[in-house]
Amino acid sequence: MKKSRFTVQRIALNAVMAAMFVGLSFFSFIIAGVKVTVEDLPVVISAVVFGPLDAAIVGFLGEFINQMLTYGFTPTTLLWILPAVTRGLLIGVCLWGLKRRYTTEELFKSWRTVWIFAVSAIAGVLASVLNTLAYYVDSKMFGYYNYALVFGVFWIRIALGIAFSLAMAAVSIPVTVGLKKSRLIQ
């Protein structure tokens, strides 16, 4: 009999990560169209620990619940969910090959750590671009935002996206090692 990819423990950890995403989103704030947040930290941890599918699920569920609690369902809800899902998929896919070849402890040594930071920075840029797209579509559909708010802070949004992605990568490394040592993950 084939062993299931999703065990009860793994599903429970994904649910906890999605709940952490929602909890962390309450500590974020928006200044002139730039969101300052670490809500994607559980997505990054899920990508490092389990891979792209789990990270995409955590990102989708976490941001969907966040959107429902904050704005309700709108025509652009899926656009606002897309950055979290994309971040998880990108980091998970890029680390997948490394995870197959190296143990968790080996993964966080030397050049492999640089790879994790580089992928996180790229994911931050992509998420920032997708957030700008969501702002733009919202501005065209509903007139919520003006051109200056959507594109005037684009480079600030990119810079903060990179900075927070690097910070989340730095935090995800000891958290992942701790989860491994506590035997919550294999």
Q: What is the mean pLDDT of residues 149-163?
A: 89
Place of tokens 């369902």: 73
When mean pLDDT is compared over 17-26, 91-100, 103-112, the highest value belongs to: 17-26
State the pLDDT at residue 25: 92
pLDDT, tens digit (0-9, with 9 covering 90-100), for 65-75: 999 999 899 99
Per-residue pLDDT band for 100 (boundaries 50, 70, 90) equals confident
Burial environment of residue 75 by CB neighbours within 10 A (0 to 12, 13 to 18, 19 or more): exposed
Average pLDDT value for residue range 22-51: 87
Cα–Cα separations (whole angstroms), residue 87 to 11, 52, 101, 143, 154: 20, 9, 22, 27, 18
pLDDT of residue 1: 45
Cα–Cα nearest to 90, from 54, 64, 122, 133: 122
| Domains in the chain: boundaries | 8-181
Contacts of 131 (CB under 8 A, 6+ apart): 35, 80, 83, 157, 161
Do residues 57 and 102 lie in contact, with contact meaning Cβ atoms separated by under 8 Å? Answer: no
What's the first-to-final CA gap in the chain, in angstroms?
Answer: 21
pLDDT in tens, 138-151: 888 888 778 888 88
Q: Say if residue 10's pLDDT is above 90.
A: no
> What pLDDT sits at residue 60?
97
Which CATH number does the domain 8-181 belong to among 3.40.50.2300, 1.20.58.760, 1.10.1760.20, 3.40.50.20?
A: 1.10.1760.20
Tell me: the pLDDT tens digits for 125-136? 999 999 999 989
Q: State phi, psi for 49 to the nearest 5 degrees.
A: -80, -50
pTM of structure: 0.88
Whether 14 and 43 have beta carbons less than 8 Å apart is answered as: no
DSSP-assigned beta bridge partners for residue 36: 29
The tokens of 175 are what?
């958290």
**Per-residue pLDDT for 97 more than 80?**
no
Q: What is the pLDDT averaged over residues 17-46?
A: 89
Helix and strand element counts for the chain (H, E): 8, 2
Per-residue pLDDT, averaged over 155-184, amounts to: 87
